[in-house]
Amino acid sequence: MSLAPQHQPLLAAAHRGDPAALAQLLQLCQPDIRRYAQRNCRIGDVDDAVQEALLVLSRKLSSVRALMAFSGWLFQIVRRECHRLARATLNYDPWDDARAEQWLASQDNVQLRHEVIHALESLPADYLEVVLLRDFAEMSIGEIAAQLGQSAAAIKSRLHRARAMAREYLIG
């Protein structure tokens, strides 16, 4: 969510503590926060994540040092809240690196190779293509984007999703 130039004075006024500007800013940001939460939260947690993000925004906006970093700061709040809600609801942390390390340590090399092959085979073709080009052909994101005729952002997104799907297959 990048605030349009005409909204920068509103952000600055809210940052200084103007309650009317803060109310307008909360209303302006809510649709973007909801869209971001819908992509990062479980469906049942979206409303709670949006509510918590708006609450944190209203309480902590004055602590933001660089207003140019506002969007990143706000999305980080939403993402953290989505993760917190998932852990609380499921009593499970899908981003638990210790669990991944434990799983890797329990596999022998041959078994691990077979599991990785099966995980890669389970990916949709367009996701598999990006993983193979990036991780096996060692192409840069820019090179992959040029080869596939897509934007670098689209390639990064697809690569992230492909890795998440493979990880879920392996340890989920």
Fold of 97-171: Arc Repressor Mutant, subunit A (1.10.10)
Overall average pLDDT of the 90-110 stretch: 67
- Give dist(CA 24, CA 4) in Å, integer: 14
Residue written as token pair 């993760």:
83
- Cβ distance 70 to 86 under 8 Å? no
Task: Looking at the chain, list the stretches that DSSP marks H as alpha helix, in order from N- to C-terminal side.
Answer: 8-16, 19-40, 46-60, 70-90, 97-105, 109-121, 125-131, 141-148, 152-171
Q: Specify the pLDDT at position 10.
A: 84
Overall average pLDDT of the 73-92 stretch: 79
What are the sequence ranges of the domains in the chain?
5-90, 97-171
pLDDT tens digits, 104-132: 677 777 877 888 888 888 888 888 999 99
The amino acid occupying position 78 is: V
- Cβ distance 127 to 158 under 8 Å? yes
Residue written as token pair 């409303």:
47
Q: Does domain 5-90 have CATH number 2.40.480.10?
A: no
Q: Is the pLDDT of residue 103 over 70?
A: no
Residue written as token pair 């991780």:
135
